[in-house]
Amino acid sequence: MAQELATLAQRTADRLAERHVGVVVAAVADDVVEIRGAGSTGAGHGRVPGPGTLFEIGSVTKAFTALALTRMASAAAVGLDEPLGDLLPAGTAVPSREGRPISLRHLATHTSGLPRLPKGMLLQALLRPSKPDPYAGCTADVLLSGLAGTRLGAAPGKRFRYSNLGAGLLGLALARRAGTEYESLVTREICAPLGMTDTVVTVDGSRSKRSAQGHVRRGRPAAPWHLADLVGAGGLRSTASDLVAFVRAQLDGGPAGLAEAIRLSRACEHRRNAFTWVHLGWMAHRLHPRQGGHLQIWHNGGTGGFSSFVGFDPETRVAVIALGNTRRPVDGPAFDLLRTLQAERSAAPN
């Protein structure tokens, strides 16, 4: 099994490396894990990325933010249906619609009605599409002052509307309630219990030497992204090894303190249509019966120079992680590998 898994992971990495500067792919089936890399970490040294190479993981960060929410909810430190305004500074104007306030659950399922980007950012993006670090100015003051003039696109809880702003506000609010900052919150609630030592916001020291250089689609170096106080939407860096620990907790339940939080994150869902839905922090769908009818829970991510994908199936107990240091999605080959693992697990004798 291990050799077959290694072959599939390497084949996917090689396929991705045809259009990316460098990639790492992890394939998980029960207790078997194989991690393979291809291409280059960039920055002139030309090493093949490996299990300990750090990548910006972009919106995969949202799964961590939502799990921090359910960890705190399990400990009765917050309520899933607690209004966002209760966790923000007194006097902060939080929009509502049809008499419904935005709750923490709404933020984690992208049903708050908030726009995708903070107020003013869409215009900035149109005027300066190549701005190297577009979220660096998203401080708490900027985000919270912008809320007063933000109009909700729908009543909270009514429909799905993907929002980086909402996820960022959730991370900011949780850190405020915990009396700390986002990175420390994620370390305490998630990374430390799982032994994840390389999932961070700030890269320094020895981690700098293990960090991949990001690239735009044409292979030119890209500046790193810093999301300031919007960090809960996409500001984490991580490695394939750490993300394997994260996804195995999703398959196994994790240690006692995390198991209830993981269960809660998946017990909550918002249906988008008959085949797709959203959990707290995760997208989900079930394949058509002709494709095997398998469950796929996933999130992808992208920054100025990186792309990422984490997907798993708790029914067949398989998972795939793909990390690239190019601004080009890794989703297609990653989903293909996940479907292959699901099909092989289903065909294997019990």
- Looking at residue 124, its pLDDT comes to 63
CA angle 185, 34, 326 (to 5 degrees): 65
- Looking at residue 76, its pLDDT comes to 97
Residue with tokens 């939502």: 66
- 223: which 2 tokens? 């500046």
DSSP string, 83-148: BGGGGS-TT-----BTTBPPBHHHHHTT-S---SS-TTHHHHHHH-TT-SSTTTT--HHHHHHHHT
- Looking at residue 338, its pLDDT comes to 98
Cα distance between residue 242 and residue 246, in whole Å: 6
SS3 314: coil
User: Is the separation of the CB atoms in 297 and 284 below 8 Å?
Assistant: yes
Q: Cα 251 from chain centroid? A: 17
Cα distance between residue 142 and residue 232, in whole Å: 15
Cα distance between residue 141 and residue 282, in whole Å: 28
Bridge-based pairing of strands 269-271 and 283-286 is unpaired
- Looking at residue 240, its pLDDT comes to 98
**Length of the chain measured in residues:** 350
User: Is the separation of the CB atoms in 270 and 160 below 8 Å?
Assistant: yes
The pTM for the full model equals 0.96
- Looking at residue 129, its pLDDT comes to 55
Backbone angles phi, psi at 343, to 5 degrees: -65, -40
Backbone angles phi, psi at 329, to 5 degrees: -55, 145
Cα distance between residue 220 and residue 218, in whole Å: 6
- Looking at residue 128, its pLDDT comes to 59
pLDDT, averaged in runs of 10, over the chain (350 residues): 92 97 97 97 86 98 98 98 98 97 98 93 59 90 94 97 98 98 98 98 91 90 95 98 98 91 96 94 95 95 97 98 97 98 82
Give the Cβ contact number of residue 172 at 10 Å: 27
- Looking at residue 126, its pLDDT comes to 46
CA angle 196, 116, 281 (to 5 degrees): 35
Cα distance between residue 78 and residue 316, in whole Å: 33
User: What are the respective helix, strand and coil percentages of the chain, to the nearest 5?
Assistant: 40, 20, 40
Residue with tokens 């919150």: 185
Bridge-based pairing of strands 269-271 and 276-279 is antiparallel
User: Is the separation of the CB atoms in 190 and 281 below 8 Å?
Assistant: no
- Looking at residue 210, its pLDDT comes to 94
For the domain 2-347, what is the CATH superfamily, name and number? DD-peptidase/beta-lactamase superfamily (3.40.710.10)
Give the chain's radius of gyration (CA, Å).
Answer: 19
Cα distance between residue 212 and residue 43, in whole Å: 8
